[in-house]
Every structure is written in structure tokens, then in C-alpha cells.
Amino acid sequence: MTEKFRDIEYLKSGNDRQKLAFSEIKKYKILEKLKKFNPILTGTIPIGIDIPESDLDIICECKNHSEFSNFLREQFSDKKDFKIYSVNQEGVKSTVAEFKTENFLFEIFGQDSPTTKQNAYLHMLIENSILEKNGLKFRQEIKRLKSSGIKTEPAFAKLLGLKGNPYIELLKLAAK
């Protein structure tokens, strides 16, 4: 199951939004350009709980944030609404580039950590497993909560009755 998400070919046989995402990622050669950073598409679109305003999140492994920033500028600064910035999430520095294409907002995240160890990837795997176990009604309720403005991890925590920080509590589920 975890291998499935490392190659976006699965999107070709997915829902309409997943097929569109596949087409747009290929059209702009996003993953090909990011190849040396071990990119993985994460977030809600790969697991089919996206809402119309959901973006395409691509995580990357970068050892040098300055070089990664320069690379992102070289590759994507010609795209609509391009911006780049740094954030610290739970003590981990991330370099983030955002830009728009015809159908999607892309967010590319770089952290000095293997992509398969980053929280965005781990959360997606955990959420996918929960979705597979809990069926269509659960999936629909997650999407309904997201449409009402609740972020993904808090929506899962609410339905699962998890207390505390939803981002941490979801990771704890994987350890069980």
C-alpha cells in the first residue's frame, strides 16, 4: 500500500479530480523537475477526500534550503501567483513554493528529512488506512467536515474521538 503513493500512476484510474491532477502534473513535468528531491504527492487528492479548493501538495527532501529555494525559483517562478517562503512546523524548517496552473494550486514543501518520513506522507498513509477500514459514510463525513471549514487532521480526530493535538494523535495511531 505505501508503495502505491510513490508513483502517481494510480491517479490515472482514480476519480475525475485525480485524473485531472495526473494530467496537470504531467503537463508541467512537476515531478520530473523535482526528481532529485524524491518528491511525493501527498494530501487529500491522492486519497480521494479533496474538496473543490483542495491543492496539490508535493513534499520533497532538501538538504540545503537556500539551494532548494533557488531551484524552485528557476523552475516555477514563471507560474501564476508564484511565491516562496520558509516556515517552521513543529520545529522542522520547511521551504514552501506556491503557484497556480489552470486547475490547481500547487504547494511544494522541502524539508531536510526523507520524504517517506515526513509527517505529510505519514498522515496520508494513516488517513488512507482509516478510510479503507471505515467505508463510504466515514469518507463522506470527512468531506462534509472539510467543506464546513475543518482541516483534514482535525476532521479525522473529531470522527475518531481523538483528544489533544490531532496531528500528533493521528501519528500515534500508526504506532498502535
Q: What is the pTM of this model?
A: 0.94
Q: Could you give the strand order of the β-sheet that contains 105-111, starting from the edge strand earlier in sequence? A: 40-42, 56-61, 105-111, 92-100, 80-89
Q: Which domains are delineated in the chain?
A: 2-115 (3.30.460.10), 123-175 (no CATH)
Mean pLDDT, rounded, for 163-171: 91
Query: 78-119: per-residue pLDDT in tens?
Result: 999 999 999 997 788 999 999 999 999 999 999 999 999 999
pLDDT at 172: 87
CA angle 30, 156, 11 (to 5 degrees): 30
pLDDT at 2: 56
Whether the predicted pLDDT of 66 surpasses 70: yes
* Short-list 130, 119, 118, 175, CA closest to 156: 130
What's the pLDDT band for 176 if we cut at 50, 70, 90?
low
